[in-house]
Chain A
Amino acid sequence: MKRFFFTVLAAISLWLPVSAQATAGTPTDLLKERDTNIRSFLKANPLPLPAPKRSKIEEDLNSLFDYETIAISSLGAHKQKATPKQLQEYIRVFSQVTRNNSSSEDALKHFLQSQIRYEGEAKGPNGATVVKTVIIKNNEEITVDYFFENTKSGWRIVNYVLDDVDLIENYRSSFGKIISEKGFDELISKLKEKLKKKD
């Protein structure tokens, strides 16, 4: 059961990053290009992927995903409660969990079985560009709005909204509760536990 939901989440994150080499064009172009590349790769390499190819696709999937920004934004005011060492460890574990999710076998299958409809771009807060998409699978539609920021490394996804659920806000409330009740180490501990349970 949990793997199913996990794969849904992971599959969504598959659409987030773009190739490190793809620095030109609009965010929508980058998403489309990435989608095409991933599909081509998966069609040419049937699942399950051998370890080297899995590492490659994991790298491709996540290289433009700005996990550090997402991780720090997800802490909100609770960032102040962490020591620099705790913060560094938290960012490392958070990024790794997310990377694992995106490249799991279930996530890749889910990706292949779904379709994406691109519905244009809009201006977001703080100069961000919002790319609106709809993921369709089994007659169910899931709206996903990606928030891109143009950083020194190019366009990077710093947040997304899944069916009106803001990723950062969601994590912020969940992480905040854990930090307030049991401290920062408990949050890191939970993330590490999740990391151990990778496929």
Chain B
Amino acid sequence: MKSFSAKRLFLLAAGMGLFALLLWRAGPHDVLERLRGLGWSFALLLLMALAWNTVAALAWRILFDTRHPSIGFLTLWHTRLCGEAVNTLTPLLNLGGEPVKVLLIRDRLQGDQGAAYVLLDKTIFFLASLLFMASGLAVAFFVFSGHALVIGISALMLSSWIAGLLWLIVQQRKGRTVTAILNLAEKVRLRVSPQFRSRMEEMDRQIAVFWRDHPGRFLAALAIHFLGRAIRTWDVVLAASLLGMKVGISSAYVIAASVMLINAAFSFIPGALGAYEGSHGYFFSLLGLGLDAGISLAIIRRIRTLLFAGLSYLLLVFSPRSNGKAVAAVAACLAAISLGSASGVWAQEETPPQAAETAASSPPASEEAKKVVRLSLPEAIERALQISVELDAVRASTAVAESYVTQAQRARWIPKAELTNIFSANRESHYILDPSEDDDENINQDYIKTNAGKNFFERLSPFNHLQIDLVQPLYTFGKLDAALALARQGLEVSREKTRGKAEEITKRVSLLYWGLLVARDIDEMLADVRKNLDDAHAKIKDKLERETGEVTAIDLYEIESFRAKLAIKIQELIKGRSLVERTLALMLGLAPDETFEPAERRLAPPEYELKAIDDYRESALQNHPEMKQLRAGLLARQAQVDMARANLYPDLFLGARLEWTESPGHHPPPNEPEIDDPKRIFFGGPFIGLRWDLSLHRKSAELGTARAQLTELQALSKAADFGFTLRVTQAYLEVVRARDALEEVGKGLQSAKKWFRSATLNFGIGVEDTDGLIKAYKEYIELRGAHYQALFDYHQAVATLQQEAGLPLLNSQEAAAPAPSEANP
């Protein structure tokens, strides 16, 4: 009893240790903050996890004979919760808990039945998961109709997994899954005892028997597992609503399935870094809900998974259903893991293959332990552009548009070729030539005999018809040119969208980068100020105690008040800086053990020459991606008008046809050999053709519609011209304001600095009191802070103007400033 208790105690300590490690890596402060934000409603998410685990346990129960007395639903439910807890807490690709399941039920079943049923359940669970992903993809086809390439690649990947799993099931049906692994082990010279082999063969046999004898149970379990996976949809809806977002059922279904799929795809990454949160963010951004919202949701779901695993683990430790062998085995396993891989990252959402950790959810781990990634602004931008999923999505659209152009070009110059072959049975007009009849006068009645007297099958004979057509348009009244123009403008729109997205990312990275530089400067300044204030506080206090008469209690209060305000500023700064660093880390795809550091020392004022406002207005109209898209759109609409007009007229084309029809056993009437027999044709030759859709009333209406749409877009274009002029004007005025503000704050800072220096000199000689000195210092510090803010605002304003004017942002980069000389005199 004593040893049993010790095992459980160790199990508790090891498990809680792993739990604490995962919690620490997830950032306990963040976790607490988010839990506080959600309050008791977080329990609903735990209930959701309980729901799908319960449904999965039910599916498992279905596999067993319902009359089986020793293996009830509650046992399997308990076993599953415990096993999945170990799966989550251990870095073993979601398989670490499976042996635990076997150990927990082995005493209730004969031989190795437990292992067989765990393997079967896992296989069916995987299959249900893959089917859920496939159904999610099908829904995605409608929800994300513009991302056919992504969906296509996903479908391809999923198909290969399903094929792999089906192959495994076939092997299981043949009863050679586990033994095949043993054979492989022996090939690499691992020794397998005959007893063990015999047991494994028995297990294979049991699995094969299940597949052979219980297809009904398999289908029922599959359906219930599928239902369990589908509960994830409601989980997404619930988690989103707790965060104040509204996600439709179809979108949630797609997100649940797609996240599962992406996690599976990235399960090969140790710790599956970033995939889980990244996939949430990606799909949320596609739905227009924002990247940040998706990441927040992912973090909440991950916290839930972790806490649910922790609670389930307690069940393993304290439940009387957990037998001693299982407890001992898990304890040993966790001990090995704790010793061997305490530095790993493996907190994962439970998915078939496994999920991910992320820069955003992870850890403000100790900075000293992190690898520093030092990049200049252009390098950071380049890296962000390379890994941006948002940009990839837009680029994929461009690839589609390029394919349309290729199609249109080929339609213009490459003839359309078509081959049709029909192979069938012929049962009509089966003529029989009977040479014994030679009566010219009665040839029609006696020489030709039809099949009228034969039955259906006797009348059948093979029939083949082959037809090859080549059609080259000669003159289409501009249809092909219009189609090509339409495709080209579509491509132009797509390219400009890509450029716009790249500029957007560039600006976002730039602002974060500058923000980080400014935050670092302010951080240093505040740290210095805090040190000075602490020093001053200690000395004033000392002088007050010694009653030197130099200072009063008011001086002390003033310092304390100043210090409190400073502490608030420092807290705000830490929070803001942390957010900036995490966002940048996410955009740069940094690993959790990496931290970003700007290569530049500090933010210098932009060396920016402001041109005349008309230059920017002109540039915006010419170069802004949206304006270019609009212009391309106008040309596309014009092409549509041209196309609609051309549709009023016929197409002239040059064609060639080869036609061959043969029906063996069929013969034409001998007295009419020159008559065209539809069952025996061989014909070929060129022709000139004309095709004309004479629904001119409809075509005419379509032309009217195209013209109206063109007019509408022209009107929109004029409105956009006006809108852009306003936007550029606003951005321009903001640059002027920010520049002037920086100049004024700079002057103010100079004055405050002089005031402070002067007060310092006077204080030193005894003609200034403490109060006057503190006031001067406060003013100086406040203006230094305002100067940093004004500097950042000016950078931001310049970047916005460049972006609105359609000018490259990097031309305004000048942020690099050399570090102050370290010259030692």
Contacts and interface: CB of A to CB of B under 8 A. Distances in A.
Interface of A: 1-6, 8-10, 32, 35, 94, 97-98, 101, 115-118, 136, 138-141, 162-165, 167, 170-171, 174-175, 178, 187, 190-191, 193-195, 197
B535 A115 contact: no
A4 B555 CA distance: 14
The 9 closest A-B pairs by CB, nearest first: A1-B536, A194-B766, A9-B764, A165-B757, A116-B825, A5-B760, A138-B528, A3-B539, A163-B757
A4 B767 contact: no
Contact of B559 (A1, A35, A136): A1
A8 B764 CA distance: 9
Given A3-B536, A4-B536, A197-B548, A98 B761 contact: no
29 contacts: A1-B770, A2-B770, A3-B536, A4-B535, A5-B760, A5-B763, A5-B764, A10-B764, A35-B825, A97-B765, A115-B823, A117-B823, A136-B820, A138-B528, A140-B528, A162-B761, A163-B753, A163-B757, A164-B753, A164-B754, A164-B757, A171-B761, A171-B762, A174-B758, A174-B767, A190-B766, A194-B766, A197-B548, A197-B766
Nearest to A167: B761
Given A1-B555, A171-B762, 19 more contacts: A1-B533, A1-B559, A2-B763, A3-B535, A4-B535, A4-B536, A9-B761, A98-B764, A117-B821, A136-B820, A139-B528, A139-B820, A162-B757, A163-B753, A164-B753, A164-B754, A187-B767, A190-B767, A195-B766
B535 A163 contact: no
Nearest to B784: A140
B798 interface: no
B765 A165 contact: no
Contacts of A194: 765-766
Given A9-B760, A162-B761, A2 B548 contact: no
A32 B825 CA distance: 7
A138 B525 CA distance: 8
Nearest to B529: A138
Contacts of A9: 760-761, 763-764
B551 interface: yes
Contacts of B823: 115, 117
B772 to A, nearest CB: 10
Nearest to A138: B528
Contacts of B770: 1-2
B825 A170 contact: no
Central interface residue in B521, B537, B757, by most chain A CB within 10 Å: B757
Nearest to B524: A139
A175 B766 CA distance: 11
A115 B822 contact: yes
A117 to B, nearest CB: 5
Nearest to B537: A1
Contacts of B822: 115
Contacts of A141: 820
Given A138-B528, A139-B524, A174-B767, A2 B550 contact: yes
Contact of A6 (B559, B764, B821): B764
B774 to A, nearest CB: 6
A70 to B, nearest CB: 11
Contact of B763 (A6, A32, A35, A163): A6
A170 B539 contact: no
Given A2-B551, A2-B773, A164-B750, A94 B825 contact: no
Nearest to B768: A174
Interface in B745-803: 750, 753-754, 757-768, 770, 773-774, 777
B539 A193 contact: no
A177 to B, nearest CB: 9
B343 interface: no
A164 B759 CA distance: 13
A22 B552 CA distance: 44
B532 interface: yes
A116 B539 CA distance: 27
B581 to A, nearest CB: 20
Central interface residue in B559, B753, B759, B825, by most chain A CB within 10 Å: B825
A31 to B, nearest CB: 8
Nearest to A117: B823
A197 B825 contact: no
